[in-house]
Structure formats: structure tokens, C-alpha cells
Structure 1
Amino acid sequence: MTDSPDFLIPVPTRGDGRDPLRRDRGDWQPAARRPLPALVTDLRPGAFGPFEHLAQIGRAAEIAGLGGALVPFDPAGEESLVVAAGLLRQSRHLRVVAGFHPGIATPVYAAKFSASLQRFVDNRLGWQVDIGLDPAIARSQGDFLQGADRYARAEEFLTVARGVWNEEGYTYEGRFYQVLAGGFQPPNSGLPFPRVYLTGTSSDALAVSARHADVHLFTGDQDVAAGIAELGARSAEAGRRLEYGLRLPVLARDDDDEAWDEARRLWNIIGGTGDGLPDPDPRTGLWHGFGRIADSAKPGLVGSYETVAAGIRGYLDQGVTTFVLEARPHIEETYRLGERLLPLFAKEIEHAH
């Protein structure tokens, strides 16, 4: 292994909480709040707003030593670019990846917005461009492109965004975008372009990643090894080298029994039974129960910090170097991961530097 593992956390844009049925942190699900006793005066209304909880998560990631945060595009949640800008401005070192889809704006506007933000936050902004949206969600956002056209537009979007970013007097004529004598001037020129994260396993998705991604993110239910092999060949043809990442739910505790007891507790809150708790996949070691306890359809790792670290090392050996670790509730679990899991990778990080 020659690359240092990079650990990020996702930021919840639709509430957070200690159990799967309560997501009232961040002023979501106000009906689910536990009322304070009459003898307690709450001084926070008007002073502690919905962003403060997200800011605490970003601060936790920074203090705990994680490399960054991912704010996902979520049409039912807070606007990811606004949240990302807030997290970047209230932190000193945290890198923040903002998720959005190409239909959100013209590539020129997206690049201009990002150039200003890069200047203000010392170049810590990344992009996750979500191309393959569910058609119903895409239409709800006013985007009616389908099939291969979505990837063709994304290709043009990223081409134009980089073009105006890097070249004064930039001109482009495409199917979806046209620019005549565009491009940025100082002080918004000459900045590092946002690090681009892309996803997907279709041929169209891999083709766009090979030409434009800095990091391609997989999930545990995908064939990561095959995806890396194909993307490596495609990116080499394009004269580029990609990095690879994984979105991975985790539930880690001091020992395996404690971790599984917590998984069972959360499972029972939803209404399941302890006997019905599914076993992890014997082939991969991944557990598919996070969809029930953490609103994540992706399989992940349950166990002691050492068990989870061993699972992550298996992906490191395959070439994955970026890990988006999903764990609820976000503030508490971020500190746990930083204090107990990351030190197990100290040698890998020290060797890389």
C-alpha cells in the first residue's frame, strides 16, 4: 500500500438522532422532540438554529482528525452547497465535498460560485456530481433528461466548468452548453479546481469517471475489484490516474459483542426481533441491516474497532484509499471513529507521509 487512507464522514441534511425513529436534531421532526420540564428555561430558541447541529458535526470531524466531510445531494434535505459553504467557513482545515446534480445550474455559474468559495476557504471544496438520479427525483428537480443523455450532459458540464476555470477567453459549442469568450480573471483565476467525486457502475458512468473524476466512489454491494480494474484501464487510455473510494456504513465498539448488541438494540427499536437480526455476509463480512437501523441501503461493517479496521484494510489492499464512513448519531460516532478507529491506521498514514 502506497497511498494513505483518507477518511470522510457524511453530513446529515435531513435530521439526526440517537435512534432510527428520532431525527429531531437540526430542527427536523419537531413533533418528535422530548419537551423540557416546565422548571427548565430553554435559552436556545433564536440562538441555536438548524445549522448549529451540522456545524458541530463538522467541528467533531476536524477535532477527531478525519480528512473531510461529504454533504450529499438530497432533494428532501437541506441544500448541500449552502451547508458545504457554511461548514467550510466555520472550519480551518476540514475539506468538504458538496453533492449536486448537473441540472442545478450552468457549469459557468457552478464554477464561478466554487471559485469564490475556494478563495475564501483556502481551496478545501470538492464536488460530488450526481448524474444517475432516480428519474422521478430528477423530474421533481425540473430535469427531464434520460438515459445516456444524462451522462453526455455531465461530460459537457465538467468540460465547460474546467474550461472557464482554466482558460480566459474560453469558447465552447456543445449539445447542452455554449460559451463564447468566457473564463475567469484574477483573483478568481489560477485556483485549484474542486476535487471531483463521481459514482456509478454503468458503462456510461465509468466512461465519464475515466475522463473527469479524481475519485470514483463505490458501495459495498458493488463489485469493487472489477470496477477498479475497468476504471484503471479506461483512465489509463485517457492518460489519467484515478483514486477509488467506498461509502461504508460502520457500527464499531470496543468488542464484537458490544457492537452486535447495539445493532440488535437499534433493530428492535424499529420493531424487529433479536432472533430476526440477519447475519453478515459470510463471503464479504458486510452486514445488510443498515437499511433498517440507519436509513442506508448500503451494506457495511459491524464489530470491534479492530474488526472494522481489518475490513477496511481488505479494501485498501484492493486499491481503495477514500472511505466515507457512515455512522449515527453523527457527532458522537464521529468522535468515536476519530479516537478509536483512526489510530489503528497510524502506521499507514505515517508511511504515506
Structure 2
Amino acid sequence: MNITFNGKFIPVFNLLGIKREHQDPDNAIYRSVEEFIANSEAYGYHGILLPESNEGLLNPWFFADMVSHQARKLHPFIAVNPVYAHPFYTAKYIANISLFSGKPLYLNYITGTGLFDARSLGDTETHDAKYLRLLEYLQIVNRLLGEDDVTYEGKFYQVKNLSLPQRLEASLLPRNFIAGNSEAALDVINNTGATRLAMAMPLDDLKALNLMKTYRLGFHFGILGRADTETATEALSVYCPEDQQKKSLQQLTTRKSAVVWKKELLEKSKNMVAGTYNLIPFASGYSDVPYLVGSYKEVAKTIHDFLQHGLDLMVLEIPLTGANEFYHIGQVFAHLSDLQEQVPANMK
């Protein structure tokens, strides 16, 4: 699944997905996660992203430990949220796992949780204040992993002569990502050198962004590919049956959310004609990410266009349709490989 495009390595991650029926008391969830890890390694993914929320059944660090023990090649991609733990705790866990596995962690730094989660946690900071808090958090973590006696005086965090028992060599330092689409998020990205993890956007939007961006860019999106367009469209209708209650809830929570990208996706979905780039799963409340829907060749062509215009990493949502979506996505990437081979050498 990992690819090299114009001499540049492009990591391909997926998003951990487990069926609701596996979330029961008899530990079926852990067997389901083990199966997902095994499939991810078998199909050649670079790693797995685990999101973070109050409702999430797995602690991200527990999941990272599962991946490190079970899979030889996979990299855990862990969501880090300042509201859940002090930066010293996070830095220590990063050092432990990276030294034990001999692999760098991928970290997706996020500013907060959903609206109702934030209320439950007593997190009342404003949108921009959360990004300032994230900036301080990330700066402290990075310094702790590579320096002795860290002293830091910020608005949200103050530490004095703080050191980890273990530090990391440069090859094991984490790969940092920040999710966000606001000016506050982009300020943190530009001030830390982190890669931006964004929702996949239409090609014209990516072309416009590529003229001005000063950072590396990763896209998060789902794939629903089939041998032909008609079959893919049918699979989409089965995956996203009409459910007005689910759709209304998605619209309500998006309007009340402080998350800029969700509001932007909802607005786009109102006027966008469904095509390969498809917002039906998002607008219908079945997913929080855009989808690429179509024949293997059509989806591969869209990904190829993304790569030609500066995409550096992918995180794929694998829809829980009951079909073997690992296989279908594998077919998309086989066609992507064919597309790369067809490009003349002087144009690569």
C-alpha cells in the first residue's frame, strides 16, 4: 500500500474501524482489533490511526502497545489531546514505545473533543485558546524527548528543570501531525514544523492551496471502490441508506461544533454534485470524512491527481460494509501503481 511518487515516499495509513456488535463485554472488541491489525499488515499499510474521544473504547497508548506487539511493520498513529494528559506523561509514553519497538510513532495532535465531550470534561477554553494550549503542549513534548532540564513558562503549562529518564535519537523522534483548517491551527503548524492532516478536498481546492502552502500535507478520506462505477454507486447506497434522523443529527452537531473543517464540508455538501469525490457519507451522518467513490480506475486517478499536486500522506477510512473492503482498496492501489508506470519517464 505504501507508494513512492516522484521519488518521494508516501505513507498510507488506515483508520481503525470495528463493528458496533463487537463492542460487547466478552472481549470480542479486542479480537476484532487484532484482526484489523493483522489485515492492515497483510495488505501493506504503513500503520493505523486511532482517534481519541470520550466514547472511544481503546486508550490510544494501549492500542499503540497492541500494534507494537502484534505487527512487525505497522506504525501506530496516535491522537494526542492535551485535555487528557500532561505533556510529561505523553513524552514518557512516546519514549517508552519508540525505544521498545525501535520505530518512530506518528502523532496526530488535536485540540479538543466533541462539544458534549468537552462539556463533560469541563474544558471551556475557546477555539483559539485550545490551539495556543496545543502549541505549548507540543513544544514541551518535543523538548523533553531531546533535551535535559526543560524549563518552560507558558499560559497553560509551566515546567522547571524537567527531564525524562530516557530520550530519543533523531531517528526515533515522532512524526507530528496537526488536524485543523483554521488560522489558529495553521499558526501552530507553521510554528512547529508539523504536517497538516486535513480532510481530502476537491482537486481544484488542492491546486489553489498548493500555490500558497508552506507545510507538508496529509489527506484523510474514505474509499468505496468497485470494478465499475455502477457497482460502486450501488454499494454507496447500501452503505448510506436514507435516515433523516441520522442526517439531522449530523447537521445539528456540525452547526454547533467549533470545528472549522466540519462546517466547511457541510456547506460544500449542499451544492456539490456527487462524483468520485463524494460527500454523501458525511452529509448523511455515516462518516466524518469525504469519500472517493467509483471504479477502481476512477478512484486511483483521483488519488494520482492528489499526489501530483503535493499530497504527502494518506489516512484511509475503510467503510464497514460487510464486504472485504481491504481487498477493494487494494485493487484501487494496484490501478494506482499501473497509472504511475504509464507516466513517461521525463514527466515523473
TM-score scaled by length of structure 1: 0.78
State yes or no: 1:231 paired with 2:221. Answer: no
Within-5 A mapping of 1:30-179: 49-78=28-57, 79-131=59-111, 133-179=113-159
CA deviation string 1:102-121 (max 9, x = no partner): 11111111000111011122
How far apart are the structure 1 equivalents of 2:243 and 2:210? Answer: 36
Structure-2 change in CA distance of 1:150 and 1:271 (3 Å): closer
- Is the partner of 2:90 in helix, strand or coil? helix
Structure-2 change in CA distance of 1:213 and 1:101 (3 Å): farther
- Is the partner of 1:24 in helix, strand or coil? helix
CA deviation string 1:278-336 (max 9, x = no partner): 99945974112113777213321111111110111121122112111112228931243
Deviation at 1:132, TM superposition (A): 5.2
- Contact kept in structure 2, 1:108 and 1:164, CA below 8 Å: yes
| Greater RCO, CA 8 A, separation 6+ | 1
Structure-2 change in CA distance of 1:135 and 1:271 (3 Å): closer
Deviation at 1:208, TM superposition (A): 0.4
Deviation at 1:214, TM superposition (A): 3.4
Aligned to 2:183, which of 174, 192, 203?
Answer: 203
How far apart are the structure 2 equivalents of 1:212 and 1:167? Answer: 16
Deviation at 1:160, TM superposition (A): 0.6
How far apart are the structure 2 equivalents of 1:80 and 1:57? Answer: 15
Structure-2 change in CA distance of 1:279 and 1:170 (3 Å): closer
CA deviation string 1:6-49 (max 9, x = no partner): 2111003xx41xxxxxx21343xx8xxxxxxxxxxxxxx5xx63
How far apart are the structure 2 equivalents of 1:231 and 1:189? Answer: 30
- Is the partner of 1:4 in helix, strand or coil? strand
Structure 2 unmatched ranges of 5 or more? 246-268
Structure-2 change in CA distance of 1:94 and 1:248 (3 Å): same
State the Cα RMSD in Å.
2.9
Bigger Rg, structure 1 or 2: 1
CA deviation string 1:146-198 (max 9, x = no partner): 13211111111011111111111222222211222122344x44362221111
Within-5 A mapping of 1:208-287: 208-220=188-200, 223-232=205-214, 242-268=215-241, 281-282=272-273, 285-287=276-278
State yes or no: 1:25 paired with 2:4. Answer: no
- Contact kept in structure 2, 1:253 and 1:303, CA below 8 Å: yes
The structure carrying a bigger helix percent of its residues is 2
- Is the partner of 2:22 in helix, strand or coil? coil
Counterpart of 1:322 in structure 2 is 313
Among all aligned residue pairs of Structure 1 and Structure 2, give the percentage whose two residues are the same amino acid: 24
- Contact kept in structure 1, 2:300 and 2:332, CA below 8 Å: yes
CA deviation string 1:211-238 (max 9, x = no partner): 2253211113584444444431xxxxxx
- Is the partner of 1:8 in helix, strand or coil? strand
How far apart are the structure 1 equivalents of 2:112 and 2:318? Answer: 25
How far apart are the structure 1 equivalents of 2:239 and 2:303? Answer: 23
- Contact kept in structure 2, 1:61 and 1:335, CA below 8 Å: no
How far apart are the structure 1 equivalents of 2:66 and 2:232? Answer: 33
* Aligned pairs, number: 308
Counterpart of 2:328 in structure 1 is 336
Counterpart of 1:40 in structure 2 is none
How far apart are the structure 2 equivalents of 1:224 and 1:260? Answer: 25
Deviation at 1:344, TM superposition (A): 2.8
Structure-2 change in CA distance of 1:313 and 1:281 (3 Å): farther
